[in-house]
Structure 1
Amino acid sequence: MARTIEIQTTTKKKQKPLQHELGFGIHFTDHMFIMDYNDSQGWHDPRIVPYQPLVLDPAAKVFHYGQTIFEGLKAYKTEEGKVLLFRPERNFQRLNRSNERLGVPAIDEEFALEALKRVIAIDQDWIPTAPGTSLYIRPFVIATQPALGVDASTQYKFIIIMSPVGNYYAEGVNPVKIYVENDYVRAVKGGIGEAKTAGNYAASLKAQEIAKEKGYSQVLWLDGVHRKYIEEVGSMNVFFKINGTVYTPALNGSILDGITRNSIIQLLRHWDIPVEESTIAIEDLANAAKSGALEEAFGTGTAAVISPIGELYWNEEKLVIADGKTGDISGKLYDTLTGIQRGTIPDPFGWLVEVNI
């Protein structure tokens, strides 16, 4: 693979949005990274170009068979002007695991990280610095071969786009309300649940619509076979503190191996707080909520970081958690993880990667 990245900078920079009006994934920076693949050349022609629409053949396989994967990570700017990434190597490792599951050729992870650093350096003035803001980064791969046969594509594009963002949830770091889905299924073991691919999210949209109509921010999915074991929320892994121990669903082939999830488990163990990856039945969780044994609950993910859960709705019943308030561990985890990410507190795990500007 060629290591030279061609760079074409824009001649017309966009007006940047006000930091208190960012929202999530609405505004995009001036530049993007693109690299192409075909069977004869492999991955080739890496380039940074002005942010622009893509031109694709209507028969491109991504449109018809959903052969696409993506990642999400963030960049932060410190008070000293340093630009930091949080565990980016794990994102590209996971991207290749998703590639493998969907029959997409692997990408050179080291080169992808170098390309990311280059485009961040070019668009560094897009990184917001207000509390709760960051530069969200979306690497993704799409199948571009114009052919309608049902088989893996022979042509792809690997693209990185970036967006200055505020809080993912309108509630910010205040507790969200979650709707437990009993009817629809998102993923099953042996399927594509553990891959970060568009099909998983397409499968969640109808239930998400229903949840919003009922006043809930997100959907909590149960396993697709028994419909009784907790898996994950649409945009987050989940944790529950019951009688002093923190529980999270074990990775089982249909749950995303979240990078924030992994980081939270490490932090809890670093603090000597008991944490277990296990099978959690929704009925047992409901009973723990009713008895008061469920002391707090929270979701974790790149977009929201830590999102306390104040209420679950299951079987026509509202289960209020910790009086609907943010729990002590949720708050401490949020402050610690965001502090590490922003470089304001020490990083004892070696998670941060600095971008040379």
Structure 2
Amino acid sequence: MTKQTISVQLSTTKKQKPQTDQLEFGRIFTDHMFIMDYSVERGWHDPKIVPYQPIEMDPAAMVYHYGQSVFEGLKAYLSKEGKVLLFRPKKNIERLNQSNNRLCIPQVDPDTVLEGLKTLIQIDKEWIPTAEGTSLYIRPFIISTEPFLGVAPSKMYKLLIILSPVGSYYKEGIHPVKIAVESEFVRAVAGGTGTAKTAGNYAASLKAQEVAESLGFSQVLWLDGVERKYIEEVGSMNIFFKINDEIVTPALNGSILEGITRNSVIYLLRQWGYSVIEKKISIEELFAAYEAGQLEEAFGTGTAAVISPIGELMWKEHHLVINNGQTGKIAKQLYETITGIQKGAIQDSFDWTIEVDSIRL
């Protein structure tokens, strides 16, 4: 694929930047965004960076009616030396194309997307917060834009990348959260779109999340959509359990999203000498381990929260208080190691980080 030149239009009016202690997750956006369009005739074309602005689309744009959309999430960090670092961005773009394949969206050129992403971040570098637990969240996404009400893959698409300075995803931060095991609603099934990062998966999760929050829980633990017994994900994160000196995580089964943080955690744990088992694990098996005193830790992993310790699970009438409701040693070590690598405070011996090079505008 021929390398495309990215045009740049800088904003003439800069936004006021928020105070670090006022940062929430995903409510404030930077001065610029990246856009690239697709048509059958031209393929992906016209990559550009423009001032952050609304996009105008026909009311019949297919994304509004049939939900043909995919997205990714990753972060940029500023090291103490002033280097802008990205954590495994090529894996995100690889997964974006996997989602594209499932949703019948044309593949994007990874080099063009990475160059656009890096250029955008360099332009809005001053938006990267530096306080503990903060970062610049990056949201690439693709939507179908053809004005057509027939049920078929769109022939027109728009790829955008927007940036948002963020604080912790959960107000609890690295402190343990309370999770309710979901027994009524289903997130995804094998053969569906659970392995793709697509908007519909998250829309399907909202009702259970709403109910859980009304009961005082931070998130839900999803069970499989067929037998309603096997553990899959926690909220929008992958999940890990330390059971009797082994680390257990649900095996990828066609309905679980393959997380980049999940991949990193498994690699680190094995490097540290832990036995990591990827397998089907039922909620009954987990409860039996808890009753036997063998469930020592539980935590979720994902881009937004990185590591989210679980202090309590509610399943039916059972309240499983894990590690006395405290952050476990492994969760803490993983969080400190991954965030240390992400911010350049710990040596990256795995080649996971990419430095955003300076550009000339």
Show structure 2 runs of 5+ residues with no match: none
Letter in 2 for 1:124: K
Distance 1:236 1:53 in 2: 30
Check whether the contact 1:201–1:234 (CA below 8 A) recurs between aligned residues: no
1:272 corresponding residue in structure 2: 273
Alignment of 1:59-138 (within 5 A): 59-138=60-139
Check whether the contact 1:9–1:50 (CA below 8 A) recurs between aligned residues: yes
Distance 2:291 2:70 in 1: 40
Distance 1:51 1:125 in 2: 15
Q: Can you list the C-alpha shifts for 1:158-200, whole angstroms capped at 9, x where unaligned?
A: 0000000000001000001111101111100000000000010
Letter in 2 for 1:301: G
Alignment of 1:1-357 (within 5 A): 3-357=4-358
* Post-superposition offset of 1:112: 0.4
Check whether the contact 2:79–2:343 (CA below 8 A) recurs between aligned residues: yes
Show structure 1 runs of 5+ residues with no match: none
* Post-superposition offset of 1:233: 1.3
Identity %: 65
Check whether the contact 1:178–1:220 (CA below 8 A) recurs between aligned residues: yes
Q: In angstroms, what is the RMSD of aligned CA positions?
A: 0.7
Q: Secondary structure at the match of 2:314?
A: strand
* Post-superposition offset of 1:316: 2.5
Q: Secondary structure at the match of 2:309?
A: strand
Q: Secondary structure at the match of 1:228?
A: coil
* Post-superposition offset of 1:231: 0.3
Letter in 1 for 2:260: I
* Post-superposition offset of 1:2: 5.6
Distance 2:350 2:45 in 1: 34
Check whether the contact 1:241–1:247 (CA below 8 A) recurs between aligned residues: yes
Check whether the contact 1:2–1:45 (CA below 8 A) recurs between aligned residues: no
Distance 1:158 1:23 in 2: 25
Distance 1:110 1:90 in 2: 12
Q: Can you list the C-alpha shifts for 1:290-331, whole angstroms capped at 9, x where unaligned?
A: 221000000000000000000011112211100100000000
Q: Can you list the C-alpha shifts for 1:73-110, whole angstroms capped at 9, x where unaligned?
A: 00000011000000000000000000000000000011
Q: Can you list the C-alpha shifts for 1:264-309, whole angstroms capped at 9, x where unaligned?
A: 0000000001111011000110121222100000000000000000
Check whether the contact 2:39–2:155 (CA below 8 A) recurs between aligned residues: yes
Q: Secondary structure at the match of 1:343?
A: coil
Check whether the contact 1:245–1:275 (CA below 8 A) recurs between aligned residues: yes
Check whether the contact 1:64–1:148 (CA below 8 A) recurs between aligned residues: yes
Q: Secondary structure at the match of 1:28?
A: coil
Letter in 2 for 1:216: F
Q: Secondary structure at the match of 2:247?
A: strand
Check whether the contact 1:232–1:255 (CA below 8 A) recurs between aligned residues: yes
Letter in 1 for 2:46: D
Q: Secondary structure at the match of 2:208?
A: helix
Q: Can you list the C-alpha shifts for 1:202-261, whole angstroms capped at 9, x where unaligned?
A: 110000001001110011100000000000012210000000000000001100000000
Check whether the contact 1:30–1:51 (CA below 8 A) recurs between aligned residues: yes
Q: Secondary structure at the match of 2:345?
A: coil
How many residues end up aligned between the 2 structures? 357
Distance 1:318 1:13 in 2: 50
Comparing 2-11 with 79-88, greater Cα deviation is found at 2-11
Letter in 1 for 2:215: K
Q: Secondary structure at the match of 1:297?
A: strand
* Post-superposition offset of 1:111: 1.1
Letter in 1 for 2:75: K
Distance 2:234 2:54 in 1: 31
Q: Can you list the C-alpha shifts for 1:37-94, whole angstroms capped at 9, x where unaligned?
A: 0100000111000000110111100000000000000000001100000000000000
Distance 1:349 1:278 in 2: 26
Task: Give the TM-score, by structure 1 length.
Answer: 0.99
Letter in 2 for 1:156: Y
Letter in 1 for 2:8: I
Distance 1:23 1:222 in 2: 29
Q: Secondary structure at the match of 2:81?
A: coil
Q: Secondary structure at the match of 2:30?
A: coil
Distance 1:328 1:119 in 2: 37
